[in-house]
Amino acid sequence: MKVKKLLLVEDEAFIALEIRSRLQSLGYEVCAIAASGQDALTKASDLRPDLVLMDIRLPGGMSGIEAAVRVRDEYGIPVVFLTALADEETLSLARAAEPYGYLLKPFQERELRIGIEMALHQHAMERRIRESEEKFRLVTESIDDVFWLNSLDLGELFYVSPAYETIWERTSDSLYRDPKSFLDSVHPDDRAVVLRVLSDPPKKGMEIEYRLLAADGTLRWIRDRRFAVCDPLGRPYRLAGIATDITGQKVAQEQLLDLNRRLERQATHDSLTGLPNSRLFIDRLEQTLAHARRFGGRVGILFVDLDGFKFINDCHGHQAGDQALILMAQRLRKALREVDTAARLGGDEFGVVIPELASDEDAKVVAKKILDHIGLPFTLNKLECCLGASIGISFFPDHGNSPEELISRADNAMYHVKQAGKGGVRVCDGPPSLPAREVLEH
């Protein structure tokens, strides 16, 4: 074990030599003897002893108490007073120097040893605590997360890391004054949830996510992890928390969800008109037919082909044709009920599923309504244009059981309308005379 170095400050030479002898007999090294306060500071600076044994009454302009304060503040060396003074005024002044011990002369060797060892032990413990706190401070101040330590009821804040000011955009001092003031920045819609969680301090770790609303209206997402700090008997007595800014993660998640939604929509919807595509149309038709088979009911299928669209495409260009298709899709939607499904099957062809038909006439009424909506004039490139439609109808269960059969027969009926002069509605009257076309291959 390393021998501890002691600096003895005593102005009376005989007493100093006698104390040094006793210290050496106890196993300590007396690295020097100082006779004044200034001499003590010089030797403390040069020799850096482990402990200073300081007399209070010293010659010169600096008392032992003043010297002890400077030794403590400038060099961090612990001081034990060795003095014959025990009056209240001296004791009061000595306490201000925060000594590690106060031994009254004359003293026994046992008292001297205990006083020195207690002082050395206390100083070593404080140093380890300071080093631990410094490591803790370096860690907490170097991370982007907010670390805080509160009383269980949040009535007292013991520590909050500097990241709080960056993330919350509030001063740490304001949080020390009011430990619940961090709630002022929590989004109003999330505040009740946060308060409910905080009202029941966790015995185990818990996690909550909430939003912060900045003064300029911007939002930050916070992941707040809290856990109880327990005493040796397992009883919670502190509440610790780590708050992480997860705004970047939330934005990335939302972007990914948005991308997935767009990819899913692209797979099931027509990119031009926004209507379901042929794949989704057949899927919806299969679901409607399954429901009708189970509970009974009739289903109407309309195959709609625009009349005059080729002329617009050829005369005004594909961009004008696209605008016309978008407009016709909007008109088709307006002609239908919420439960009906309209889809673009390809080119200028559209399909419609009409579930829960009360009678065949209802499907014919819908078809007539579609013709009326589509036939309204519209302006394209400053020119008034007009389109029509040819519509074929098939019914479940009269004309088939599968989507392929029903679409094929409605397509065939539409083909007969085209042959008869366009611009009308026809219900299929038997098996299709033409095979189902490309729509079933989409």
Mean pLDDT (whole number) for 95-100: 86
Q: When comparing pLDDT for 256 and 327, which is higher?
A: 327
429: exposed, middle or buried (Cβ count in 10 Å: 0-12, 13-18, 19+): exposed
Q: Report residue 105's pLDDT band, with 50, 70 and 90 as the boundaries.
A: confident
Which of 122-131, 147-156, 284-293 is predicted most confidently? 284-293
CB 351 within 8 A of CB 304: yes
Q: How would you label 351-384 residue by residue, b for 16+ Cβ within 10 Å and e otherwise?
A: bbbbbbbeeeeebbebbeebbebbeeeeebeeee
Is the predicted pLDDT of residue 104 greater than 90, yes or no? no
Mean pLDDT (whole number) for 427-441: 53
Is the predicted pLDDT of residue 88 greater than 90, yes or no? no
- Report how far residue 16's alpha carbon sits from residue 12's, in angstroms, rounded to the nearest whole number: 6
| pLDDT mean across residues, the chain | 88
Peptide bond into 106 cis (omega under 30): yes
Mean pLDDT (whole number) for 181-195: 91
Is the predicted pLDDT of residue 313 greater than 80, yes or no? yes
Peptide bond into 397 cis (omega under 30): yes
Amino acid residing at 111: E
Is the predicted pLDDT of residue 442 greater than 50, yes or no? no
- Report how far residue 382's alpha carbon sits from residue 44's, in angstroms, rounded to the nearest whole number: 98
Output the pLDDT for position 203: 62
Mean pLDDT (whole number) for 78-96: 85
Is the predicted pLDDT of residue 181 greater than 60, yes or no? yes
CB 348 within 8 A of CB 363: no
- Report how far residue 5's alpha carbon sits from residue 19's, in angstroms, rounded to the nearest whole number: 14
Looking at domain 5-137, does it have CATH number 3.40.50.2300? yes
Mean pLDDT (whole number) for 179-194: 92
Which residue spans of the chain are classified as CATH 3.40.50.2300?
5-137
CB 190 within 8 A of CB 221: no
Q: Report residue 434's pLDDT band, with 50, 70 and 90 as the boundaries.
A: very low
Name the CATH superfamily housing domain 143-249: PAS domain (3.30.450.20)
Output the pLDDT for position 429: 81
Q: Would you state the structure tokens that stand for residue 96, as one six-digit string?
A: 């201000």
**% of the chain beyond a pLDDT of 70:** 94
Task: Tell me the fold of 269-441.
Answer: Alpha-Beta Plaits (3.30.70)
State pLDDT tens for residues 388-406. 999 999 999 999 999 999 9
Which residue spans of the chain are classified as CATH 3.30.70.270?
269-441
Q: When comparing pLDDT for 186 and 91, which is higher?
A: 186
Mean pLDDT (whole number) for 240-253: 90
State pLDDT tens for residues 203-230. 667 888 999 998 888 899 999 988 888 8
Count of CB atoms situated within 10 Å of the CB of 162: 14
Mean pLDDT (whole number) for 257-286: 90
Q: Report residue 440's pLDDT band, with 50, 70 and 90 as the boundaries.
A: very low
Output the pLDDT for position 437: 43
Is the predicted pLDDT of residue 411 greater than 80, yes or no? yes
Contacts 24+ apart (CB under 8 A), 180-184: 180/154
Which residue spans of the chain are classified as CATH 3.30.450.20?
143-249
The closest of 34, 41, 39, 38 to 16, measured between CA atoms, is 34
State pLDDT tens for residues 120-132. 888 888 888 777 7
